[in-house]
């Protein structure tokens, strides 16, 4: 009775592992892209919610400014716009961002100020996510 594996058994197991890895790698890349875009979506929707609810709770005007490297929320005080909240932008997750209105203003009633809805598209690899915000402040993730 011998202990261990034969050379043929090791080669077969290695080939099976290589085949499984070859099938898994493209799926893993799509999964990583999906996870990164979902993190960026969460950051953007959180910033919109914080800006809107902060404006309502404090009965002030607030603005949310989107840039690829940072998302900023400022509030309007008597002395002017004051920094309120900062978070890294989608670029920190390796995600590209296209935004129709890079600055969104919220009034004390939570309504967005401006002439149109805001559309934000986040992309990484084959994954793309779209966020829209209406003038009444509703956020929808497509």
Domain count of the fold of the chain? 1
| Alpha-carbon span 95 to 93, nearest angstrom | 5
| Alpha-carbon span 100 to 111, nearest angstrom | 18
Q: Which CATH number covers residue 72?
A: 3.55.40.10
Half-sphere exposure of 132 (CA within 13 A, CB side): 6
Q: What is the pLDDT, as a whole number, of residue 69?
A: 93
In a domain? residue 1: no
pTM: 0.80
Instruction: Supply the DSSP symbol for 109.
Output: T
Instruction: List, in order, residues 6 or more apart from 82 with CB less than 8 Å away.
Output: 74, 75, 76
Indicate whether 78 pLDDT > 70.
Answer: yes
Indicate whether 56 pLDDT > 90.
Answer: yes
In a domain? residue 2: no
* Tokens 């009965």, located at residue: 59
Q: Are 105 and 112 in contact (CB under 8 A)?
A: yes
Tell me the average pLDDT across 68-72: 94
Q: Which domain holds residue 115?
A: 7-141
In a domain? residue 128: yes
Q: Which residues pair with 124 in a beta bridge?
A: 127
Indicate whether 41 pLDDT > 80.
Answer: yes
Q: Are 36 and 95 in contact (CB under 8 A)?
A: yes
| Alpha-carbon span 138 to 49, nearest angstrom | 9
Q: Are 46 and 70 in contact (CB under 8 A)?
A: no
Tell me the average pLDDT across 118-123: 94
Indicate whether 1 pLDDT > 70.
Answer: no
* Residue range 8-34, pLDDT digits in tens: 989 999 999 999 888 887 778 888 999
Indicate whether 6 pLDDT > 80.
Answer: yes
Q: Which residues pair with 127 in a beta bridge?
A: 124
Indicate whether 115 pLDDT > 70.
Answer: no
In a domain? residue 56: yes
């Amino acid at each position: 009775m011998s202990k261990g594996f034969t050379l043929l058994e090791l080669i077969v197991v290695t080939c099976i592992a290589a085949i499984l890895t070859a099938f898994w790698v493209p799926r893993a890349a799509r999964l990583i892209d999906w996870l990164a875009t979902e993190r960026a979506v969460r950051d953007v929707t959180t910033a919109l919610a914080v800006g809107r609810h902060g404006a309502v709770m404090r009965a002030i005007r607030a603005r949310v400014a989107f840039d690829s490297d940072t998302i900023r929320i400022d509030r309007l005080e008597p002395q002017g716009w004051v920094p309120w909240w900062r978070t890294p932008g989608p670029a920190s997750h390796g995600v590209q961002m296209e935004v129709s209105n890079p600055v969104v203003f919220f009034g004390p009633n939570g309504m967005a100020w401006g002439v149109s809805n805001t559309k934000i598209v986040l992309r990484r690899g084959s994954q793309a996510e779209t966020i829209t915000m209406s003038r009444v402040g509703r956020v929808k993730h497509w």
